[in-house]
Amino acid sequence: MTTRVLHYADDAIAEAAQLIMAGGIVAVPTETVYGLAADATNATAVAAIYAAKGRPSFNPLIVHVPDLAAARQLAVFDEVALRLADDFWPGPLTLVLPLAGTAPVASLVTAGLSTIAIRVPAHRAMRALLVAAGRPLAAPSANASGGISPTRAAHVLASLDGRIPLVIDDGATQAGLESTIVATEGGIEILRPGPITASDIETCFPGKGRGPVTPSAAQSRPLPGGHLVTAPGQLESHYAPSKPLRLEVTEADEGEWLIGFGAVAGDDTLSATGDLREAAARLFDLLHRADANDRPRIAIAPIPQESLGIAINDRLRRAAHRD
Ligand code: TXA
Ligand code: MG
């Protein structure tokens, strides 16, 4: 594949939107870093993000929307979340909120969680693309897995040249750091530090602290004033089935619901043709379905340890692990 680079302009955005609507992926600048965007409602398109990045595991992704009204179609806002959105959007703040029951977002985006990470970006290119594509866009940083986050189009090409069809170039990004991620349930918690600081957030709630503090990680650090908590690093939250899960199974035992792949048909299949992108796109839906039926245990067919299979197997090992 040849990667084209187009400078930000109306026709470049129109072309990027065409690609997105057809299930493709496009690198586009935001005010933080360049993102690798796909239609968040299209599971196969989201799987293509992982394939291009060569990401070895499935983290839930941030969903970008043009405004608060669009965000409210996808997430349930409490009073605190509304206040934060009002003060910091558009801008480099991501809110982790309960997923709205009717949200049309692919389960691969949220890694099967009942929450969604969402933000309204401020950059003209990402904003124009959101409007032109007319759908929410999932976008992690536009670099190969393990690489450094890109703040220029050249950084994107350094690791993704030949792996994506298009980069929109609009110069260096302004913040150069990924967005601050905040959860609001049971008190404000900073899940990832970023351009919007804890004290920026505190000024949003002058006077008294706002509700209980809920430290979630060992490294959590109460801040002066005591009502904000920072949990450095990345979250390891993932959907885990409630039933035991047995891996690399070609024939189900009694009481097992077998999720098939390729030649292993099973009760349900990740991909009858052995297509890893299709399997990634269906993974969390099939785990939920397996969890919800009346068989007491889940089994899953072997998945080849290559390309997207590496991320699928990583996810399955975590899902199968019991303490
Ligand atoms: O600045 C940014 O946020 C950039 C630009 C492109 O917008 N995007 C970005 O996305 O950094 P990504 O996908 O690399 O960051 C996802 C982070 C992960 O650390 C993940 O754990 C967290 O967001 N996350 C996503 N959904 C979550 C959820 N439901 N609960 C907790 N954390 C979540
Ligand atoms: Mg990243």
Assess if residue 234 is contained within a domain. no
pLDDT tens string for the chain (323 positions)? 999 999 999 999 999 999 999 999 999 999 999 999 999 999 999 999 999 999 888 889 999 999 999 999 999 999 999 999 999 999 999 999 999 999 999 999 999 999 999 999 999 999 999 999 999 999 999 999 877 889 999 999 999 999 999 999 999 998 888 999 999 987 899 898 888 988 889 888 765 444 433 334 333 443 333 445 555 445 556 677 889 999 999 999 999 999 999 999 999 999 999 999 999 888 988 998 999 999 999 999 999 998 889 889 988 988 887 65
Assess if residue 239 is contained within a domain. no
Domain match, 66 and 181 both: yes
The CATH number covering residue 103 comes to 3.90.870.10
Assess if residue 235 is contained within a domain. no
Size of the chain in residues: 323
Task: Kindly list the protein residues whose Cβ atom lies closer than 6 A to any atom of ligand 1.
Answer: 30, 32-33, 35, 59-62, 92, 94, 96, 110, 113, 115-117, 139-141, 178-179, 181, 191-192, 234-235, 237
Of 200, 195, 157, the closest CA to residue 174 belongs to 195
For residue 205, the model assigns a pLDDT of 79
Coil, strand or helix: which one is 209? coil
H helices of the chain, in order, are 10-21, 43-53, 68-74, 79-88, 124-133, 153-160, 198-202, 276-292, 308-320
Q: Which of 229, 254, 277 is the last residue of a domain?
A: 229
For residue 285, the model assigns a pLDDT of 85
Q: Which ligand lies nearest the alpha carbon of 173?
A: 1
Of 318, 252, 256, the closest CA to residue 283 belongs to 318
Domain match, 176 and 292 both: no
Domains contained in the chain, number: 2
Domain match, 210 and 260 both: no
DSSP letter at 267 equals: S
Q: Which of 229, 264, 283 is the last residue of a domain?
A: 229
Domain match, 94 and 134 both: yes
Alpha-carbon span 172 to 33, nearest angstrom: 9
Q: Which ligand lies nearest the alpha carbon of 32?
A: 1
Domain match, 25 and 164 both: yes
Alpha-carbon span 157 to 27, nearest angstrom: 10
Assess if residue 169 is contained within a domain. yes
For residue 242, the model assigns a pLDDT of 87
Q: Which of 178, 195, 229 is the last residue of a domain?
A: 229
For residue 222, the model assigns a pLDDT of 39
Residues whose CB is less than 8 angstroms from the CB of residue 299 and which lie 6 or more positions away in sequence, other chains included: 245, 246, 247, 249, 252, 253, 256, 257, 258, 259
Assess if residue 266 is contained within a domain. yes
Token pair 């990470």 is at which residue?
117
105: buried, middle or exposed (CB in 10 Å: 19+, 13-18, 0-12)? Answer: buried
Q: How many angstroms is it from 51 CA to the middle of ligand 2?
A: 14
| Nearest residue by C-alpha to atom 3 in ligand 1 | 179
Distance of CA 106 to the CA centre of its chain: 10
Question: What is the number of the ligand 1 atom nearest to the C-alpha of 113?
Answer: 29
Domain match, 288 and 179 both: no
Alpha-carbon span 167 to 16, nearest angstrom: 9
Domain match, 25 and 121 both: yes
Domain match, 87 and 189 both: yes
Strand partners, 39: 137
Of 33, 29, 27, the closest CA to residue 192 belongs to 33
Domain match, 81 and 18 both: yes
Sheet holding 268-269, edge to edge: 245-246, 297-300, 256-260, 268-269
Assess if residue 95 is contained within a domain. yes
Domain match, 51 and 90 both: yes
Range of the domain at 216: 4-229
Of 178, 117, 137, 122, the closest CA to residue 27 belongs to 137
For residue 319, the model assigns a pLDDT of 85
And the tokens for 90? Answer: 């558009």
Domain match, 77 and 144 both: yes
Alpha-carbon span 317 to 322, nearest angstrom: 10
Torsion over CA: 286, 277, 32, 30 (sign): negative
Residues whose CB is less than 8 angstroms from the CB of residue 104 and which lie 6 or more positions away in sequence, other chains included: 41
Determine the residue type at 270.
L
Q: How many angstroms is it from 192 CA to the middle of ligand 1?
A: 9
Assess if residue 238 is contained within a domain. no
| CB 146 within 8 Å of CB 271 | no
Domain match, 100 and 222 both: yes
Residue to probe by mutation, ligand 1, list 61, 170, 185, most atoms within 8 Å of CB: 61
Assess if residue 64 is contained within a domain. yes
Rg (CA), the chain: 20
